[in-house]
């Protein structure tokens, strides 16, 4: 499915999206890896890490790790599918945990941005160990475009740290 | 493990219950009790930043706070013998989450034998200005 319906020259430079991902402090804390990215879809993974255990009985990673993985991934696929530098903010994220993740195994994820309108983008994805047809979790996310939020283009963001007051308070988490 | 949850609940030692979850220590979750019940706190830490340009907390951590608040509420307020397992969650992001502490409080909407439905809200300085809200289902067996 190709959500790209604008002139090709406005498609984002994926190297900037990759760079933006590399600079996210929380992604580094969790050890998120961006394995593949195209315009409108991407793959990401997080290696097993005992520090991130959520259930001491089962040694399964905390659901928040999967939430952060899918939130980051859905944000990136939207960023890769909208015109270069468009700011975006997460409006909502719905996750179904289909089965427990296995301890000691890397969690992979894949997502696509399947619809872009003037102000909203829709993404969906899943988390799994080895194959996408044996999913651990499914997710759908909705993102607000424009206004304030995360952007790969510094000239379109509020100026520098401490300028967070420039974010429009119309809702959403600048992802 | 099954005994220890019941024992910890009996002692009312919130820090010990929270400490059962390694991830909670890493990201910076704490449990408190006030006149309205259990309060889950996400301490601000630099490594929880998601947007490094405008410096806001990562949406994934905010989601995790809401999920953790719900799990801890079930562990403290009900007689579950195991750590509740999440079935699904729907998170609404209402405002940007700034570089300060974030608070979350849950409410058990319905608790059956197998499944519980919990709603959670989160705020920062002003409890009247929510930064996020969620509803989630948990397996209790």
- Tell me the per-residue pLDDT of A24-51, one tens digit each, with 9 for 90 and over: 999 999 999 999 999 999 999 999 999 9
Give the least confident one: A13-22, A151-160, B87-96: A151-160
- The CA-atom distances, in angstroms, between B62 and each of A174, B17, B69, B102 are 12, 20, 11, 8
Structural domain including A49 reads 11-153
Mark which residues 118-137 of B lie under 8 Å from A by CB: 131-132
Residue A163 lies in a domain: no
Contacts of A119 (CB under 8 A, 6+ apart): A144, A145, A146
Residue A173 lies in a domain: no
Instruction: Please indicate whether, in this complex, the C-beta atoms of B92 and A69 are within 8 angstroms of each other.
Output: no
- The CA-atom distances, in angstroms, between A160 and each of A110, A168, B133 are 31, 16, 28
Residue A1 lies in a domain: no
d(CA A89, CA A149): 5
- The CA-atom distances, in angstroms, between A118 and each of A4, A69, B2, B6 are 13, 26, 52, 52
Residue among A80, A89, A83, A87 nearest A40 (CA): A80
Residue of chain A minimizing CA distance to B46: A25
Residue with tokens 């304030």: A148
Structural domain including B8 reads 2-139
Q: Is the pTM of this model over 0.90?
A: no
Nearest to A173 among B52, B62, B64 (CB): B62
**ipTM summary value:** 0.92
**B108-120, pLDDT tens digit by residue?**
999 999 999 999 9
Average pLDDT, chain B: 92
CA distance A5 to chain B (A): 27
Instruction: Give A160's pLDDT tier (boundaries 50, 70, 90).
Output: very low
Residue A121 lies in a domain: yes
pLDDT for position A154: 57
Q: Are A34 and A44 in contact (CB under 8 A)?
A: yes
Say which residue, A166 or A131, is predicted with more confidence.
Answer: A131
Tell whether A47 lies on the interface with B, counting CB pairs under 8 A.
no
> How much of chain B, in percent, has pLDDT values that exceed 90?
75
- The CA-atom distances, in angstroms, between A2 and each of A7, A114, A122, B56, B58 are 13, 7, 13, 31, 28
Q: Is the dihedral of CA B30, B108, B1, B8 positive or negative?
A: positive
Nearest to A92 among B46, B56, B91 (CB): B91
Beta bridge partners of B135: B90, B119
pLDDT for position A156: 57
Tell whether A100 lies on the interface with B, counting CB pairs under 8 A.
yes
Contacts of A32 (CB under 8 A, 6+ apart): A21, A24, A44, A45, A46, A68, A69, A72
Residue with tokens 């979790």: A137
The total number of structural domains that make up chain A: 1
The total number of structural domains that make up chain B: 1
pLDDT for position A153: 65
pLDDT for position A155: 61
Indicate which CATH number applies to the domain containing B66.
3.10.129.10
Q: Are B87 and B108 in contact (CB under 8 A)?
A: no
Instruction: Please indicate whether, in this complex, the C-beta atoms of A94 and B83 are within 8 angstroms of each other.
Output: no
d(CA B76, CA A138): 29
**A90-145, pLDDT tens digit by residue?**
999 999 999 989 999 999 999 999 999 999 999 999 999 999 998 999 999 999 99
Residue among A151, A150, A104, A109 nearest A128 (CA): A109
Indicate which CATH number applies to the domain containing A122.
3.10.129.10
Chain A residues in contact with B22 (beta carbon < 8 A): 50-54, 56
Residue A5 lies in a domain: no
pLDDT for position A173: 60
Mark which residues 48-77 of B lie under 8 Å from A by CB: 48-65, 67-68
Reply yes or no on whether the pLDDT at A68 is more than 80.
Answer: yes
pLDDT for position B51: 85
Reply yes or no on whether the pLDDT at A6 is more than 50.
Answer: no
């Amino acid at each position: 499915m190709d959500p790209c319906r604008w002139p090709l020259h406005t498609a984002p430079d994926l190297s900037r999206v990759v760079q933006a991902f590399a600079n996210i402090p929380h992604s580094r804390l969790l050890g998120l890896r961006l394995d593949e990215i195209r315009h409108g879809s991407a793959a990401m993974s997080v290696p097993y890490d005992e520090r991130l255990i959520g259930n001491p009985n089962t040694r399964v990673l905390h659901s928040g790790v999967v939430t952060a993985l899918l939130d980051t991934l859905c944000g990136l696929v939207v960023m890769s599918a909208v015109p270069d530098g468009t700011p975006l903010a997460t409006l909502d994220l719905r996750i179904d945990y289909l089965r427990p993740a296995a301890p000691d195994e890397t969690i992979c994820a894949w997502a696509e941005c399947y619809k872009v309108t003037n102000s909203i983008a829709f993404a969906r994805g899943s988390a799994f160990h080895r194959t996408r047809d044996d999913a651990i979790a499914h997710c759908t996310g909705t993102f607000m475009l424009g206004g304030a939020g995360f952007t790969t283009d510094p000239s379109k963001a509020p100026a520098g740290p401490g300028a967070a007051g420039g974010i429009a308070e119309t809702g959403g988490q600048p992802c | 493990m099954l005994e220890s949850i019941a024992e910890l609940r009996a002692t009312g030692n919130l820090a010990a219950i929270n400490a059962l979850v390694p991830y909670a220590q890493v990201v910076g979750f704490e449990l408190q009790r006030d006149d309205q019940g259990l309060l889950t706190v996400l301490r601000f830490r630099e490594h929880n930043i998601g947007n490094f340009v405008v410096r806001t907390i990562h949406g994934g951590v905010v989601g995790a706070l809401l999920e953790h608040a719900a799990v801890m509420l079930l562990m403290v307020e009900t007689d579950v013998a195991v750590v509740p397992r999440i079935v699904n969650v729907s998170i609404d992001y209402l405002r940007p989450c700034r570089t300060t502490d974030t608070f979350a409080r849950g409410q058990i909407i319905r608790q059956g034998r197998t499944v519980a439905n919990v709603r959670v809200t989160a705020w920062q300085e002003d409890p009247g200005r929510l930064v996020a809200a969620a509803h989630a289902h948990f397996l209790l067996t």
